[in-house]
Copies of this chain bind each other. A is one copy, B any other.
């Protein structure tokens, strides 16, 4: 592993010039530039990140804090963020918080403080006061995805609007008895997503002159099984049965489709189902959904971070652009029968 000195020697310049030529910071004459690059590649020289970080105060590394990894949404965001960071020459250091409270504490009180990162991306994670404070104390750019974090630039879908659009799709097809499978209140932690999606659903109903009927709302846990059980309860009782179900996640919507089938009901003839996510499995189940694009969310968050890390490098992305969502109509929704 050759050092910068070897490159300098081979190129016949000082190490200062090598550093400038390779990093692009500071001016170097074109011909020197070329010579230095050639020498570097001939020797297989790659800068030592710790030496470079120590000297410059920049790490070329971004910390990403994630609550869960083994869920499609999070891992998709992470995938997008990782690809975008790579393109920008940054490493990604991952801090998973799926462990216990002790692990969580150590991430905020120890790991993130060792100056290993230039910036932090917080994925859909509600932070308590002291966690937020230790992030802010880093005095580094932070971007959050998924909900408001006080004092932090965040990127999030408008949950109320998304739920309204989903509900309006069903209303537009002629449904009026529309059930909702929403988030249980213990997921409230997650930026009031359950409350907001329920609010959007009820707002849309009222706007259409339909009075929300509380028994048509069922809380669940965002999983297929949870959606299955909630849908069963909604659908088991023919006289009161809704003609359509809006589920706050695609997994719960898929559970609803399976529950309907098991009850001998046909989707969409007997009951329409719409979800939110654009989950990888939604297409297979013919699920109509409000797609949010998690990969793109991750990429966009990184771009915002890059704008802050390299101001003036280009026109920055506008702050607070709402995240894109898109209604994808498949075969799980149709006008109500008869």
Contacts and interface: CB of A to CB of B under 8 A. Distances in A.
Most buried by B among A53, A69, A82, A261: A69
A111 B115 CA distance: 19
Nearest to A83: B99
A291 B280 CA distance: 22
Nearest to A251: B281
Contacts of A82: 69, 94-96, 98
A222 interface: no
Given A91-B93, A96-B82, A116 B70 contact: no
B86 A46 contact: no
Contact of A261 (B52, B75, B94, B261): B261
Interface in A260-286: 261, 280-281, 283-284
A261 B76 CA distance: 30
A232 B92 CA distance: 43
A228 B99 contact: no
Contact of A49 (B115, B223, B225): B115
A79 B96 CA distance: 7
Contacts of A284: 223-225, 228, 255
B69 A79 contact: yes
A294 to B, nearest CB: 8
Contacts of A91: 93, 95, 111, 116
Contacts of A46: 110, 113-115
Contact of A115 (B50, B78, B115): B50
B70 A96 contact: no
Interface string A51-88: 11110000101000000111110011011001100110
A199 interface: no
B75 A69 contact: yes
A106 interface: yes
19 contacts: A1-B115, A48-B114, A49-B50, A50-B59, A52-B114, A69-B75, A69-B79, A69-B82, A78-B94, A82-B98, A86-B106, A86-B107, A87-B99, A91-B93, A91-B111, A92-B93, A93-B94, A94-B94, A261-B261
Given A61-B116, A69-B75, A83-B99, 12 more contacts: A48-B54, A48-B114, A69-B76, A70-B280, A86-B96, A87-B99, A93-B93, A94-B94, A225-B284, A228-B284, A255-B284, A261-B261
